[in-house]
Structure 1
Amino acid sequence: MILGEKEVVYVVSDSVGETAEFVVKAVATQFNGGNVEIRRNSYVDDFEDIEDVLILARTRKSIIAYTIVVPALKEYLDRRAAEENIMAVDLLSPLINAFTTSFNKTPHHQPGLMRKLDEEYFRKIEAIEFAVKYDDGRDPRGILKADIVLIGVSRTSKTPLSMYLAHKRFKVANVPLVPEVPAPEELFAIPRKNCIGLIISPDKLNEIRLERLKALGLGSKASYASFARILDELDYAEKIMKRVGCPIINVSNKAIEETAGLILDVLKKERSL
């Protein structure tokens, strides 16, 4: 061993090793950072990888800190480190054992699950950002990029449905259908199976729009809530939906969760044909 040489902590993981490195750094700060060098060894998945680390570790003052969940690899590292008189610290097993004992659960012993969870999380965030960006027909280019496109008249729950489905990691664009505004051409360029039309009964739509006007402090006689206007909009929307050829769901008296479930069921059926 060379005098004055840095102590080394070999971080060994059957995944990326970020968790172990973070823990080691946290501990090192308790010693003012020490004179410690951290060397990460990621994706260790066989005995030879472990031997490579041991060869390096036994030549200098070192510790092995590891997050290995595959039992055979963990047992091998523990045994060989003891034989080489190298301190090996298992960062996961105490907590895994606590979960097993206290919660009566069985671990998967599968590497990389945290990374998969992170990927799921970022896909959800991306889908939410997509729903916000392409809400209410703001940018018709989103129609071509979306997993699901929702179309319908105002107050058919397009926005809350888009957000609900985004939390399930679907990229959703929604387009309001208004007689005075031509439907975007992109709507007729996508596969029919990517689009869902949302309809509602005139009575229910009238009720919802009256409540909306009240919330805005506007009079109930505004054309927005008039039956003539509502029937005109619904007729126009039906024509667009027929032209698109998309499945149609009636959202009258349905909760967002119920409608979202129906949307996913319809799309699953459509896309399996």
Structure 2
Amino acid sequence: MDKDKMVAYIISDCTGKTAKNLMESASGQFPDHEIDMKTFTFVRSIEEIDEILKKAKKENAVIAYTFVKSEMRTHLNQLAESYGLKYVDMMEKPLNIISERFNTAPKEEFALKYQLDEAYFDRIEAMEFTLQFDDLNESKGYEEADIVLVGVSRTSKTPLSVHLSYLGYKTANVPLVPEVDVHPSVLENKDDKVVGLTIDPKLLNDIRIERLKRMGLGDDATYAAKERIDKEFEYADSIMEEIGCPVIDVTDKNIEETAVEVLSYFED
């Protein structure tokens, strides 16, 4: 057996990151020696432990493990000892210390910290919806959305939509462009879910010029022309007035501030 080489088995009922990180930190103190680490994750049964330790015995591996269930820790300890293997339980002491402090037994549930609740899945669904209905103008987006944002280009509709979706709100956004008719469902706004966004025209002009520069285009393009911006605002104002929705001026507001104002219209 090579005295400068060691095999380490990292075994865990979850991702194994805790045991692996600690073993890597320890092995870093022995730069002249080779430590081959093999990781076994989401080990949730006695049978799996038996199979892994049979392999460990053949390689005379050192065992580092994290299990929340005392039954599995006890079984591994006894089996490792019968095989003459060195092992370290990286979960027992922290569990015992916390248990003694609170005078409460640990729940011994797998990956309790990482269990995903309903709110998590709702947020993921909202984010997927928002990305799907970014800059779309159709009835499905309106009907399924919790919030619908309307406004001219570069009024932060997309970043605001994404932020609201992270908070769990399905958010669609509709660009107001003179050449494109707004879908009747948005105009009707029967569920009062539409919120308009506006901005100082001069600031919008500056924002659009910067965008054109980043795109390698000249600042004299129609997109940033004052006449074009005035036309878009006139159209957007008329649409938002027809909808009868609240309008938020996003000038000098960050996304979080605007989101708070948007949500204030949906409070019970």
TM-score, structure 1 length as denominator? 0.60
Paired residues of 2:195 and 2:246 also in contact (CA < 8 A): yes
Determine the structure 2 residue equivalent to 1:24: 44
Paired residues of 2:133 and 2:172 also in contact (CA < 8 A): yes
Per the TM alignment, residue 31 of structure 1 is displaced from its structure 2 partner at its CA by 0.3
Alpha-carbon distance change, 96 to 170 in structure 1, aligned in 2, over 3 angstroms: farther
Structure 2's unaligned 5+ residue stretches are 1-41, 54-68, 71-90
SS of the aligned residue for 2:162 comes to helix
Determine the structure 2 residue equivalent to 1:166: 165
The answer as to 2:234 corresponding to 1:214 is no
Cα distance in 1 between the residues matched to 2:115 and 2:192: 29
Per the TM alignment, residue 193 of structure 1 is displaced from its structure 2 partner at its CA by 2.7
TM-score, structure 2 length as denominator? 0.61
The answer as to 2:206 corresponding to 1:223 is no
Cα distance in 2 between the residues matched to 1:101 and 1:221: 72
SS of the aligned residue for 1:170 comes to coil
Per the TM alignment, residue 93 of structure 1 is displaced from its structure 2 partner at its CA by 10
Query: Over residues 214-242 of structure 1, what are the superposed CA-to-partner deviations in whole Å (9 max), with x where a residue is unaligned?
Result: 11111111111111111110111111111
Query: Over residues 17-57 of structure 1, what are the superposed CA-to-partner deviations in whole Å (9 max), with x where a residue is unaligned?
Result: xxxxx6632x53120289xxxxxxxxxxxxxxxxxxxxxxx
Determine the structure 1 residue equivalent to 2:132: 133
Cα distance in 1 between the residues matched to 2:259 and 2:96: 39
Query: Over residues 121-169 of structure 1, what are the superposed CA-to-partner deviations in whole Å (9 max), with x where a residue is unaligned?
Result: 2111111110011110154421111000000000000110111111111
Cα distance in 2 between the residues matched to 1:114 and 1:206: 48
Alpha-carbon distance change, 98 to 250 in structure 1, aligned in 2, over 3 angstroms: farther
**Structure 2 counterpart of 1:161, which letter?**
L
Determine the structure 2 residue equivalent to 1:53: none
SS of the aligned residue for 1:196 comes to strand
Determine the structure 2 residue equivalent to 1:177: 176
Alpha-carbon distance change, 179 to 100 in structure 1, aligned in 2, over 3 angstroms: farther
Alpha-carbon distance change, 144 to 29 in structure 1, aligned in 2, over 3 angstroms: same
Moved more, 240-249 or 135-144: 135-144
Paired residues of 2:127 and 2:165 also in contact (CA < 8 A): yes
**What percentage of residue pairs aligned between the two structures are identical?**
44
Paired residues of 2:148 and 2:172 also in contact (CA < 8 A): yes
RMSD: 3.4
